[in-house]
Structure 1
Amino acid sequence: MDHAIETSGLTKHYGRVTALADVSLHVDTGSVFGVIGPNGAGKTTMMRLLLDIIRPSAGSARVLGRSPREGAQRLRRNIGFVPGDLRLEGRVTGRQLLRHYARISGPVAPRAIDTLAERLGLDLGKQVRTLSKGNKQKLGLVQAFMHEPALLVLDEPTSGLDPLVQQEFLAMVREAKQTGQTVFLSSHVLSEIQQAADSVAILREGRIVTISDVDSLRLTAVRRVRVGITGSTPDAVRRVLEEVPHLSELTVGDGDGVRVTARVEGEIDPFVKAIGVFRVSDLAVEEPDLEESVLRLYSSPETRHSGGTEPNDVR
């Protein structure tokens, strides 16, 4: 099976409101696929459709080679799921709750639960109802990972987690990939997707803006550059750099030689060749700002479409 997830024209309407529109994508088995978009983009709707929590208005999906509706319980036992609106209550302890989930999900390796809890810093002896939001999120992650499912569907999985636990979670995702598991991960935090995913779909207002591998997206990203040049004048430098495509926020001034700052959108090669005609004394290039690039895709006129807005509870 080459694809763990396949969708074709997947669409969901709520009355006159379109929550998801004509989404077609595939997720390779053993990969980490990220979906990024602001709240209301349709990320949660897509995941609920894949898990047969809701049914599509049009289009189709296949998960682990089967229709979500036809796969039913047998399919869901091969999936680990963390919902974006995780709600855990009860007077049972975390350990008791996980034992209950283990009876539903299938075999769990000895000490798997304890190992995951230790990694995330979760006390399994506390009653679920007394846990903070962050600790409930940790409990949800243990529940999803503990039976080593073929597919992990994780909706905003690091919500409420502190930075150190977020890094541990990303390590767990990388390990899952190494063992051949597939991870379908949604977030509105681009840095999280950048660190974890092989490929990413950018979703806005229920539609896919683009699907790309993370490295390709980085090539189109925004870089901040600072250059020191000697043996020339600001006017001469400016005349050359004003011819460079996709260069903005250009500032050329006097200082210790000529000092240049600018923003480069996309490939940096034309800029490097342009400054190569001068004597460069200093050069600093910041890491590509993927978040700024994605925000440009969100607001780009050519990616807009007509239609109503989503209700507040459609994500």
Structure 2
Amino acid sequence: MSVLTVNNLTKQFGKFTALDGVNIEVNEGEIYGFIGPNGAGKSTTIRVLLGILKATQGSATIFGQDAWSDAVDIHKHIAYVPGDVNLWPNLTGGEVIDLFVKLRGSNNQSRREELIEKFNLDPTKKCRTYSKGNRQKVALVAAFASDADLYILDEPTSGLDPLMEQVFQQYVLEMKNKGKSVLLSSHILSEVEKLCDRVGIIRQGKMIESGTLGELRHLTRVHMLVETKQPLTDLNELKGVHAIEEKDQAVSFQVDAEALDNVIKHVSQFGIVKLESSPPTLEDLFMRHYEQKDESEVGGAS
């Protein structure tokens, strides 16, 4: 069942088109990764979803309600964490968490204490003394302490150290196991890869690809490291082989997934001593997208 649907969403600021026909669907119990470089349109999309900005064209619905006209109702069932949290400087972190939790009508003290301990937050300090990472922790504790149905997280781990990122990932997966939905906007690709069921890639306001990680991996290449008894030759003649490098006795290269069978047949003729292959990461996929786009744009401009 769809919890969040964005259909052909367009947002213009004067003559500038920030979003150009964006489509997103987040289902119940699903973590959807929304990725792209800074300035691609991730935060603008999220502001439309939160009812802060009105779309120029297209629609955005959450729980079947319109994100703009039904924003007050929708906000009773969502939790939002921005990438740069601003807090009341004279309140303590604990007071801010209590305020947010009470606004949501939930009051689970043991959950609050557990989160504060796991995120290693001192709730007695005034917010003006907090580092960026600690301000993020306050927002994350408040979000995970509330009983929301949809979590909208916009670069939520910005400023957190790796240990706290792991704690964050643990709680996101816990939300999923409870049947909650998560829209995770991020440029930390390893985070998206660990957590997300489906991914949408946005660039310059346009969705350039979306699907499960399995579906998107056809766009990228498998990394191979091969050591053979006889010198490996003619690799560069094979279709679908890229980035060939000699490393000591071995050769490393990348292979398009559809060419893998032919490449393995070719390599096996030279007597394989060692063969290592690693699946493509989201980072590879991401970089290839942008490299290809940039090259075609440069080619078109010249």
The TM-score, its normalising length taken from structure 2, stands at: 0.91
Q: Which has the higher contact order (CA 8 A, sep 6+)?
A: 1
1:139-179 alpha-carbon deviations (Å, 9 max, x no partner): 01111111120000000000000000001101111110000
- 2:206 partner letter: R
Moved more, 161-170 or 289-298: 289-298
Q: What whole-Å deviation, never above 9, does each CA across 1:151-209 have from its counterpart, x for those lacking one?
A: 00000000000000001101111110000000000011111110110111011000001
Contact 1:11 1:19 in 2 (8 A): yes
- For residues 77-96 of structure 1, what are the alpha-carbon distances to aligned partners after superposition, in whole Å with 9 as ceiling and x for unaligned? 10000112321132111111
**Alpha-carbon offset, residue 129 of structure 1:** 1.2
Residue in 1 that maps onto 2:262: 270
Name the counterpart of 2:220. Answer: 221
Q: Answer yes or no: is 1:109 the counterpart of 2:101.
A: no
Identify which range, 197-206 or 141-150, moves more after superposition.
141-150
Structure 2: how far apart are the matches of 1:23 and 1:204? 10
**Deviation string, structure 1 residues 208-262 (Cα, Å, up to 9, x no partner):** 01002112334443333221111x4x3xx423x3443221122469x76xx3221
1:206: which partner in 2? 205
- Residue 294, structure 1, aligned to residue 289, structure 2: no
Corresponding residue number in structure 2 for 1:280 = 272
1:261 counterpart residue number: 252
* Alpha-carbon distance between aligned partners in 1 of 2:295 and 2:7, rounded to the nearest angstrom: 20
Q: Is the 8 A contact 1:238 1:252 kept in 2?
A: no
Is contact 1:44-1:84 (8 Å) kept?
no
The answer to whether residue 247 in structure 2 is matched with residue 247 in structure 1 is: no
Task: Using the TM superposition, give the Cα deviation of residue 70 of structure 1 relative to its aligned residue in structure 2, in angstroms.
Answer: 3.2
Q: Distance in 2 between matches of 1:81 and 1:112?
A: 18
| Matching residue of 1:98 | 97
CA distance in 2, matches of 1:226, 1:84: 38
Residue 165 (structure 1) aligned with residue 164 (structure 2): yes
Unpaired runs of 5+ residues, structure 1, are 307-315
Tell me: CA distance 1:260–1:305, structure 2 relative to 1, closer, same or farther (3 Å). Answer: closer
C-alpha distance in 1, partners of 2:262/2:279? 17
Amino acid at match of 1:222: R
Query: Is residue 2:42 matched to residue 1:40?
Result: no
Q: Distance in 2 between matches of 1:305 and 1:209?
A: 14
Instruction: Report the equivalent of 1:313.
Output: none
The percentage of aligned residue pairs carrying the same residue is 35
Could you tell me how far apart the structure 2 residues matched to 1:193 and 1:137 are?
18
Deviation at 1:52, TM superposition (A): 0.4
Whole-Å Cα distance in 2 between the matches of residues 305 and 87 of structure 1?
38
The answer as to 2:67 corresponding to 1:72 is no
Any idea what SS the aligned residue of 1:111 has? Answer: helix
Inter-partner Cα distance in structure 1 for 2:179 and 2:218: 28
Q: Report the number of matched residues.
A: 297
Counterpart residue identity of residue 9, structure 1: N
Determine helix, strand or coil for the equivalent of 1:27.
Answer: strand
1:179-190 residue pairs with structure 2 within 5 A?
179-190=178-189
Distance of aligned partners of 1:215 and 1:130 in 2 relative to their CA distance in 1, 3 Å threshold: same
Task: Verify: 1:125 aligned to 2:124, yes or no.
Answer: yes
Q: Tell me the TM-score normalised to structure 1 length.
A: 0.88
Aligned to 1:299, the other structure's residue is in SS state helix
RMSD: 2.2
**Distance in 2 separating the partners of 1:196 and 1:13:** 32
**Equivalent position to 2:233, from 235, 238, 242:** 238
Distance 2:214 2:30 in 1: 14
Q: CA deviation at 1:299?
A: 3.0
Question: In structure 2, what is the Cα distance between the partners aligned to 1:305 and 1:149?
Answer: 42
Deviation string 1:88-111 (CA, Å, 9 cap, x unpaired) is 132111111112112211213231
Identify unmatched segments of 5+ residues in structure 2.
none
Taking structure 1 as reference, are residues 62 and 238 closer, same or farther at Cα in structure 2, changes over 3 Å only? same
